[in-house]
Amino acid sequence: MKNILRLIRKIWKHKIVVLIGVVTMFLNVIFELIIPYQMKIIVDEALPAGDMPLLRGAAILMLFVAFGALIAALINNYCAQWISQNISAELRLDLFKKIQSLSMKKIDKFKSGRLITNCTNDVTQIRMFLMMLFRIILRAPLMLVGGLFMAIYTSRQLANIFWVLIPVLLVVVIIIIKKAFPLFERVQKKVDGINTVVHENVNSPRVVKSFVNMKFEQDRFDVENDGYRDVATKANRIFATLFPAIMIVTNIGYAGIMILGAKLLENGTLVSIVDGIQVANAGVLIAFFSYTMNIMFALIMAAMMMVFLSRAEVSAKRINEVLDTDIDLLNPDNPIAQDIMGNIKFDSVSFGYSSEGNEVLKDISFEINVGEKIGIIGSTGSGKSTLINLIPRLYDTTKGSVLIDGVKVEDYDLHTLRNAIGFVTQKPHVFSGNFITNISQGQKESSSEEIEKAAKIALADEYIVQKEDKYEEAVNQGGSNLSGGQKQRLSLARAVIRRPKILILDDSTSALDANSEELVMNGIRENFNESTVLLISQKVSSIIDSDKIIVLDNHGHLDGFGDHHTLLKTSKVYKEIFNSQYGIGGVYNG
């Protein structure tokens, strides 16, 4: 309960709507409890005595009460919908903000499928619970207590049946809920699995289709889908026994009421004397049956409440796990927000993705001056991307320090630091929208001239101007209507429009032909001659003219740092890569 209670505290921000919802629900219950008692008055008092004024008065009151109950129910439902929708929207936003604030290491820990489930299915469970909170959960105890009170007020003798009926019903509900609760957590985990498979396939359709892996991926999904179905079916099967069990006990209770009522009629307890004639109190039985139905319905609602509560508690726990996750990349207490020039220094830097000592980078040291063009090369898995991820502080070092302009990156204001860095990732990321929104990407102040200039530097204008709507042409989610090279150039334009002091290109021209790559690099040299540029590449030809080249070996060590000619003499790894690309069938004119 503690997890769901923590989340529903948000409703107190909407006190007026909450108050209206509670008051109208309370009125609705009172109105519904008045109607059976008016039936008792009509059947047992007005009709036997032929008292037409009493009959009309009771009928008018019932009509008024029924209309009032309808109005109260409508207002209550509106308040329940309003609160549940608003709180769930706020919760989704809180989760989204928290996910954005988490480091890459924390996001890797949760997995994308889990985080998607948190923002969708888990929040939906909370929304449904909040809606039921006003429509059922608070209503059930009121109806139960009110129904018991009115039943006892109507007939104390008949009410003795509840001493047996209600404890039996409570035991049935508790047993079933106790068995079903653990399964709901497994249901949510199975949803994670389904979302993960779907997410991976939606993000990699070309890989799946090109390797003809549709059947394999279908089998993967089938396993997750079957797992979800089995657990959900088991949970719902247990829950499905709840209503028949309640109805069986309720019907037994009705039979008991009839038997007890018959005995009370026989001994003259449940009768009235009208004009000297003994008349059976049929109205008491009718009213008592109505109140019993109210009580049973309240117990059914309470059972439903327990189901919604158990599912919501599981979802709330999972949501709170994300919200409670420590943000390990925080601004320092006194962040430095000075202008960044572009000097970079790695001072004995080591880094590992886990705390188990499996380091990807080991004791890396080098210095880069403002305006230098730096190449980075090494075998696949040598830690090249990891190295550059430390500069904008996407990860914190395990040992040593990364300094920019003599200041540790941990001491910078994160916005200042990252705003001075243009980063083009190895895998280009394209967002739904159009070319303008993709290039500007948060730079709302960017003019059309700046957007077009950035596109020209990245050679993206070559295909953008050919589109029917030019820069306003729609771009599909993930850039599904663009080629790999077009997405790379669009990502590059997004980075250069920021005019960064440090420009990082993580193998971001791999999908371009040699001529296009040369044109892009020439454009960067011309327009960013005062910026520090770091280029990761698998091709020596892409970095051969760099001022300096960083070479990493297969074990995360710095194997060399210098220009091309120096490295041919001092770096074994660089020489091997160069010979593999130029030594056999290759031509080098440098």
Of 185-194, 202-211, 293-302, which gets the smallest average pLDDT? 202-211
Hey, which residues does 273 pair with through a beta bridge? 278
More confident residue, 404 or 518: 404
Percent of the chain with pLDDT strictly greater than 70:
92
| CA–CA distance, 488 with 504 (Å, rounded to integer) | 13
Strand order in the sheet with 359-368: 359-368, 344-352, 399-404, 407-408
Q: What CATH architecture is 2-323?
A: Up-down Bundle (1.20)
Q: What is the residue-averaged pLDDT of the chain?
A: 81
Which range, of 138-152, 229-243, 320-334, 416-430, averages the lowest pLDDT?
229-243
Reply yes or no on whether the pLDDT at 346 is more than 90: yes
Query: pLDDT value at position 275?
Result: 61
What is the average pLDDT across 6-16?
Answer: 83
DSSP for 136-170 reads IITHHHHHHHHHHHHHHHH-TTGGGGHHHHHHHHH
Summarised one tens digit per residue, pLDDT across range 436-481 is: 888 887 666 778 888 888 888 888 888 888 888 888 888 877 777 7
pLDDT number for residue 255 = 84
pLDDT of residue 203: 64
| Span 299-335, pLDDT tens digits | 777 777 777 777 787 788 888 888 888 777 778 888 8
CB atoms within 10 A of CB 208: 17
d(CA 388, CA 385): 5
Delimit the domains of the chain by residue range: 2-323, 344-420+500-583
Q: Regarding the domain with residue range 344-420+500-583, which homologous superfamily does it belong to in the CATH classification? A: P-loop containing nucleotide triphosphate hydrolases (3.40.50.300)
Q: List alpha helices for 443-543, DSSP H.
A: 448-457, 461-464, 484-496, 514-527, 540-543
Bridge partners, residue 407, by sequence: 404
Which of 245-249, 341-345, 540-544 has the least mean pLDDT? 245-249
> Mean pLDDT over residues 503-511, rounded?
79
Segment 541-559, tens digit of pLDDT: 888 888 999 999 888 888 8
The tens digit of pLDDT for each residue in 202-236 reads 666 656 665 566 777 778 778 888 888 888 787 77
pLDDT for 237 equals 76
Q: Give the number of other CB atoms < 10 A from CB of residue 422.
A: 23
The confidence score (pLDDT) of residue 273 equals 60
Looking at the DSSP bridge assignments, the partners of residue 550 are: 376, 561
> What percentage of the chain has pLDDT greater than the value 90?
9
Is pLDDT of 138 > 50?
yes
Q: What is the pLDDT of residue 477?
A: 73
Helices (H), ranges, 547-590 = 564-570, 572-578
